[in-house]
Every structure is written in structure tokens, then in C-alpha cells.
Amino acid sequence: AQSVTQLGSHVSVSEGALVLLRCNYSSSVPPYLFWYVQYPNQGLQLLLKYTTGATLVKGINGFEAEFKKSETSFHLTKPSAHMSDAAEYFCAVNLSGGYNKLIFGAGTRLAVHP
């Protein structure tokens, strides 16, 4: 069965600093991988996704993630944090070829301080 592990339930960075949110997955078949963001009192919004092809994926708001099969990882990065990036971030995995059954990680709450 597939699963997702997000290392660090809370991450705090300074404005302008690099953001790195870690995600490792477990899947017996090639996965589809997603990062979603949740702002307070909001639903989840897709940041980016990996399905096939290029392993470095660019998303909205300057975020990107790299699929590394050998490390079973899909870490999310942003070169320079902005105050508006403060939110909760969820990594999710879905099985290729199957029906949609997104399995989410526990989430990482990102705090950005001046």
C-alpha cells in the first residue's frame, strides 16, 4: 500500500530564506505525486504535481519539487520565502493507472518570520 511521510510537522524560516519541505513516499508501482497548500480556513489548493516526464516540476508561487525515484522522495523547495507562504503544506501520492485515491502526508506547517 502506498504511504507518504513528511519530515517535520513544523518548519520555520526567515523571510527571504530557502524553503525546504521534505516528503518521502512508499509505493509498489510508479506513483503520481502532488503538493497541496492549505491556508487558514481554506480548502486545499494544488501547488504542483508529478505524473511522468521531467522530474523537476515547477508550480505556482515560485515553488518547485524534484521527483527522485532512487530516494523515493519528492521534496518541495522555494528559493526565497515570502510572508504569504505561511500555510500548511501537504504531500500526496496516488497510484498510476488507478482511480484517484489521494493519500496525504500528515502535513508541514510553514511559518515565515521577518
Partner 1 sequence: DSGVTQTPKHLITATGQRVTLRCSPRSGDLSVYWYQQSLDQGLQFLIQYYNGEERAKGNILERFSAQQFPDLHSELNLSSLELGDSALYFCASTFSGQGNTEAFFGQGTRLTVV
Return residues touching partner 1 (CB under 8 A): 32, 34, 36, 41-46, 49, 51-52, 90, 94-107
Cell of 24: 518521502
- Kindly tell me which of 60 and 83 has the beta carbon lying closer to partner 1: 60
- Rg of the chain in Å (alpha carbons): 13
**CB of 56: closest distance to partner 1 in angstroms?**
17
**CB of 12: closest distance to partner 1 in angstroms?**
20
**CB of 97: closest distance to partner 1 in angstroms?**
7
Distance CA 74, CA 49 (A): 10
Distance CA 6, CA 35 (A): 11
